[in-house]
Every structure is written in structure tokens, then in C-alpha cells.
Amino acid sequence: MSDTLPITEARSQFGSLVRRASTRRERITITDHGQPAAVIINAQELADLEDDLAVAKYRAEQAAGTLRTVPNREVRQRLGLTEA
């Protein structure tokens, strides 16, 4: 479920809007002069979206042949870790 509110109304209901987003996973769009300005979403939903975006970017680079990887041995050397 989602809701859209003008910034003046959202200001007076901010705590309630945050709780709705947090507990019910609602997306609340806040408008400024009738235009979408911000969205309040659940923190875990944001983390999930960021993870999905990172995976999509990785797969796109992989498909395009532009993916840059660093071998484990080189990472350990850069970090000053020795082989056990």
C-alpha cells in the first residue's frame, strides 16, 4: 500500500508516517508543490533494493564483459595479510 501527502500534512504526521512505513512496509510519498519530493520506506526494504541494484549492476557488467575482479591472492597482499 502507498500513500501520497503534501509536505505540510506530512510534517504534522511524521512520527505516524514513519511507524506506518516501518511496521506495515508502506511507501509514503511526500510532495512539494504537487511534485513528488521524497519517499519514506521501511529500512529493510531500502537495503533490499540496494542489494538488488548491486546484483543487477554486477550482472550487467558481467554480460558486457566489463566486470573487473581482483584475485584473492592480490587482495590479501594489498591488505598485508599473509598466506596461512
How confident is residue 84, by pLDDT bands cut at 50, 70 and 90?
Answer: low
List the CATH code of the domain at 1-41: 3.40.1620.10
How confident is residue 83, by pLDDT bands cut at 50, 70 and 90?
Answer: low
Per-residue cell: 79: 591488505
Per-residue cell: 53: 541494484
Output the pLDDT for position 18: 96
Element (H, E) at 48: helix 43-64
Instruction: Name the residue ranges covered by the structural domains of the chain.
Output: 1-41
In tens, the pLDDT along 18-73 reads: 999 999 999 999 999 999 999 999 999 999 999 999 999 999 999 999 999 999 99
28 CB burial (10 A radius; 0-12, 13-18, 19+): buried
| SS3 category, 39 | strand
Neighbours of 77 (CB within 10 A): 12
pTM of the entire predicted model? 0.72
